[in-house]
Structure 1
C-alpha cells in the first residue's frame, strides 16, 4: 500500500488494481500520458481538475489518492461556503448558462452514485455549481419541465446534504433539508415527498428529538401512496425502516419492533435496489435490524450479533450502508464484551468506506474506548485511533 505522503504511488497502486496501463488511464482521464507518468513518479503535482479526472477514470473518490486524509477533510470543509452561498440564492440565482434537462439529469444521477458510494470530496466540489445551475433552470422552467427540474433539485440538495450532515455542518444540513421541503411540492410527486420526509429525520437525530422524529415519520408513512407496486412498497418500507431506528433511539421498543416488522414485510416483497435515492430491500432491512438493536441499547446488543453471525451485507449494496452495518455491529460487540471483534468490524468498515468511517462519531468514540481497554495491545489499534482522531 502506498505511503500517506506519496500521491504518485497511490495513483499507480489504484491503476494496477484497476488493471489499467498508463496509456489507458491517461486516455480515460483525458490527460496526456506523459503528464500521468510524471505524476506517478513524483516529478510534478496534479491540479484539482486533473486529480478528479484521474479519480473518476479509476472509479474512486479523490480522497483515496490524496497525500493525506486530513487534506481530504480540509477540501470538504473548504467547499462548505460555496455550498451555503448556492442555496442562499435559491430564489435569486446568479445569471449563468443552463444546459438542457437531459444533461442536468445525467449530472444529478451521477452525483447520486457518488453519495451512495460515500465519495464526499467529489460531492463537495461539484455540487455548489450544479445546485446553482439547477436553481436557474427551475426559475426559467414551466409546466412539466418545471416539475422535473424541481425533482432534480431535490436530488442534488440531498446529495449535498449527505456531505454537510456527515461532516458536522448541522445548520447547513438543516437549511438543505428545508430547501428540499420547499422544492418537493413543485415536483408533484408523492413518492418524492416521502423521500424528503425520510431525509428530514436527520434533523431530529441531530437535535435528539427522537419522539418528534418518530411522529413525523409516522405521519409521512400515513400520507405516502398505497403499496401497489415495487416503488411504492419500497418508499413506504423505507419510512418504516427509518422509523424503527428513531423509535429505538426514543426507547420505544414496541414501536421499533412494529415498524421493523412493517419494513421487513415490504422488503421481502421487492428486490434490493435504489428507490427514490434510498437503498431498500431485504438486505437493507436486515442491516436496520442491527441498527435498531443498537439504538435500543446494550441489553439488545445480542440481537445485532446474532444477525451478523448468520449474515453479512453483500458487496453490491451501497458502501455507506455496508460500512454503517459494521460500525453499528462494532458498538454492539463492544457492549457485549467483545473488543477484539469490535476492532475487526471497525477495520472492515474503514476498508469499505474510509471517509464515512473516519468521520462517524461512533467510530471515534469506540476507537477511544478500545484504546483505553487495550493500552498495551497492537500498534494497529493506536494507528487506527489516530487515523480517526479518536478522543478529539
Structure 2
C-alpha cells in the first residue's frame, strides 16, 4: 500500500501489532474503550486533537510523525508548500550550526546587513501569508549570508544574531508544518545560540517560545510546559520596562495554555489564557512581536484551540463565535482559527458547518491547511459522510490532498 494512502488508524494498528498488543491492551493503557480504539483504527473515528495523537504515540513508543504519516507530498509545486526547498534549507541550517570560523562560500554578491534585514521582513510576510513555497525559495540564502556576518568579528553581531533568530524561526515553522521535525530542532538550536550570544530578554523569550513550538509539534508536553514556565520566570523582572518583552510574556502564556490543554489540565490552561488576555489588552491590536502575532484577537483564537484540545466541543463553537477574525492580518492565523472551528463543529456532529469552515480555511491558506494531520483526518471523515451540502468540494479537496 502506498504510504500516502495509509490512514492514521492503520498506522496506529501497525504500531500496536509491532508491540504484540491486542486492542484491549492499548485501550487500557490510554484509558479508552476497545470500541473507541476499534473505530479509530478502522477510520470510523477521526483523531481531531493532537493531545490524543500524542497520548497514543507515547503509549506505543513511537514518534508522532509515524502516526500522522508526515511529511506529505502533493502533486504540484504550488501545493507542495516548500518541500523542494528542504534540502537547501537543511544544508543552510547545518552550516549555521557549525562553530564560528567555519565559513563556506556564498554564490553571488553578498548583501549588506541592511539589505538582509529588508529581505527578512519580506520573508516574514510570506510566512504570515502562509506562502511556504515562496518562503523556501529565499530563506536558505538569507541564512547562509547571515552566517558570514555573524562570524565576522567586525560586524554588528547583535543585530545579525537577532536577524538569524528571526530567519531560523521561519525555518522552524515551515519545517514543523511539513513534518521535518528534526530540521525544526536544528533551526531552534541556532535560535538559542543567537539568544545566548546577545543575552537580551526579548531574544531569550523568542527562542524559548519557538522551543515550546518544537515540543508541541512532537507532543512532548511536559518539556513544552516547563520551558514556557522557565522562560516566564526568566523574563518576569523585565516585563514592566519594555512592550516587546511584555508581548513575549503574553505569547509564552499562550504556549503554556496550549501545553496544559493538551495535558487536559483545564484549570492551568484557562489561568494562562486569562493572563495572556490581560496583557493583550494593554498592547497594540495589531501586535506581531517576533512573528508571534501576540494581540487580542490571537488570544481569542487560542481560546478556541484550548477548548478543542480539552475536548469541550460546545465551548469551541461558543468561543469561535466571539473571535473577530477579520481583525488579524495573518492568513496563517485565520486559517488556524477556521480549522479549529471546523474541528469543533465536527465534534458536535455538525458536518456541514465543519465542511464550510474547512473550505474557508483552504481558500485562505491552502499551503498551511493541506499539511495539517488534523485537517486530513477530518476531510477523510467528511469525504465518506455522503450527505454534505458541499460534498463535491470536499471530494475535490480530498483528491488534491491525495486522500482518495
Measured against the shorter chain, the TM-score band is 0.7 to 0.9
2:272 is aligned to 259
Is structure 2 residue 204 aligned with structure 1 residue 190? Answer: no
Q: Give me the whole-angstrom Cα distance separating, in 2, the residues matched to 1:211 and 1:227.
A: 28
1:338-357 alignment, distance < 5 Å: 338-357=350-369
Q: Give me the whole-angstrom Cα distance separating, in 1, the residues matched to 2:306 and 2:334.
A: 15
Is structure 2 residue 399 aligned with structure 1 residue 386? Answer: yes
Which of 72, 75, 79 is equivalent to 2:78?
72
Shift of 1:308: 2.2
1:87-134 residue CA offsets vs partner (Å, 9 max, x unmatched): 212232312454322111111111111111111011111111111100
1:35-46 alignment, distance < 5 Å: none
2:308 is aligned to 294
Which of 89, 103, 106 is equivalent to 2:95?
89
Secondary structure at the counterpart of residue 151 of structure 2? helix
Shift of 1:356: 0.5
Which of 154, 158, 161 is equivalent to 1:150?
161
Ranked by relative contact order (alpha carbons within 8 Å, sequence separation 6 or more), the top structure is 2
Does the aligned pair in 2 maintain the 1:98–1:136 contact within 8 Å?
no
1:169-202 residue CA offsets vs partner (Å, 9 max, x unmatched): 1111111111111122122321111011111112
1:55-134 alignment, distance < 5 Å: 70-74=76-80, 76-90=82-96, 91=98, 92-96=102-106, 97-134=109-146
1:315-326 alignment, distance < 5 Å: 315-326=327-338
TM-score (normalizing by structure 2): 0.76
Shift of 1:316: 4.0
Q: Give me the whole-angstrom Cα distance separating, in 2, the residues matched to 1:236 and 1:142.
A: 33
Q: Give me the whole-angstrom Cα distance separating, in 1, the residues matched to 2:218 and 2:372.
A: 17
Q: Give me the whole-angstrom Cα distance separating, in 2, the residues matched to 1:384 and 1:160.
A: 27
Give the direction of change, closer, same or farther, for the CA distance of 1:370–1:85 in structure 2 (3 Å limit).
same
Does 360-369 or 273-282 show the bigger shift?
273-282
Shift of 1:348: 1.0
Secondary structure at the counterpart of residue 280 of structure 1? coil
1:202-223 residue CA offsets vs partner (Å, 9 max, x unmatched): 2212332112211111111111
Does the aligned pair in 1 maintain the 2:81–2:367 contact within 8 Å?
no
Which of 251, 274, 290 is equivalent to 2:288?
274
Does the aligned pair in 2 maintain the 1:230–1:269 contact within 8 Å?
no
Which of 217, 227, 231 is equivalent to 1:220?
231
Secondary structure at the counterpart of residue 339 of structure 2? helix
Secondary structure at the counterpart of residue 293 of structure 2? strand
TM-score (normalizing by structure 1): 0.78
Q: For structure 1, which runs of at least 5 residues remain unmatched after alignment?
A: 1-67
Secondary structure at the counterpart of residue 118 of structure 1? coil
Shift of 1:228: 3.6
Does the aligned pair in 1 maintain the 2:209–2:251 contact within 8 Å?
yes
Which of 240, 259, 269 is equivalent to 2:253?
240
* Aligned-CA RMSD value: 1.9
Give the direction of change, closer, same or farther, for the CA distance of 1:318–1:332 in structure 2 (3 Å limit).
same
2:69 is aligned to none
Secondary structure at the counterpart of residue 82 of structure 2? helix
Size of the aligned set, in residue pairs, is 321
Does the aligned pair in 1 maintain the 2:335–2:361 contact within 8 Å?
yes
1:355-366 alignment, distance < 5 Å: 355-366=367-378
Shift of 1:288: 0.5
1:320-368 residue CA offsets vs partner (Å, 9 max, x unmatched): 0111000001001100111110000001101111110111111101101
Which of 319, 325, 329 is equivalent to 1:313?
325
Q: Give me the whole-angstrom Cα distance separating, in 1, the residues matched to 2:387 and 2:294.
A: 40
Shift of 1:73: 4.5
Which of 132, 152, 159 is equivalent to 1:140?
152
Give the direction of change, closer, same or farther, for the CA distance of 1:228–1:206 in structure 2 (3 Å limit).
same
Is structure 2 residue 336 aligned with structure 1 residue 330? Answer: no
Give the direction of change, closer, same or farther, for the CA distance of 1:337–1:211 in structure 2 (3 Å limit).
same
Secondary structure at the counterpart of residue 373 of structure 1? coil
Does the aligned pair in 1 maintain the 2:80–2:133 contact within 8 Å?
no
Shift of 1:159: 1.1
Q: Give me the whole-angstrom Cα distance separating, in 1, the residues matched to 2:273 and 2:80.
A: 38
Give the direction of change, closer, same or farther, for the CA distance of 1:226–1:387 in structure 2 (3 Å limit).
same
